[in-house]
Chain A
Amino acid sequence: VTASRDESTGRLVHDLRTPLTLILGFAEMLHQRHGELSPEQSRQNVEWILKAARDMQEILDRAG
């Protein structure tokens, strides 16, 4: 039972890492290149962040 719980926790962590990586990456780009990005590029970055955040929410909903 413990091994199975460890495995599912490990899977959950792995699944959450992926969208989190994208959120951090695109947020980092927005933060560091704030003045250089066009409004369209900024909008696309925010869309990536939103999509990844929704993925995280879906993963957590499934796990809960």
Chain B
Amino acid sequence: MANLSNGENMITASKHLVALFVDRFSRQWIVRDPEGRFWIVPSVENGWDHRQSLYPTEESALEPVPGQYIYMLDLPF
């Protein structure tokens, strides 16, 4: 059996899945990056360059959008 104590990569550091949401109230895309941070991404060319940070609260009504729409925003990850 392999020496598990030396297996430093046996446990992957937990990363968040990149996810896309829509905030229908503010009519904006919200992106969760791999570090788990939330960003408002405007619906313009190179929207990611114009992102603003967001700190969702319990009141935030973020509606998940299917993963394939992430490509629509030309995100860098």
A binds B: no
Using CB atoms and an 8 Å cutoff, list the residues of chain B in contact with chain A.
none
Using CB atoms and an 8 Å cutoff, list the residues of chain A in contact with chain B.
none
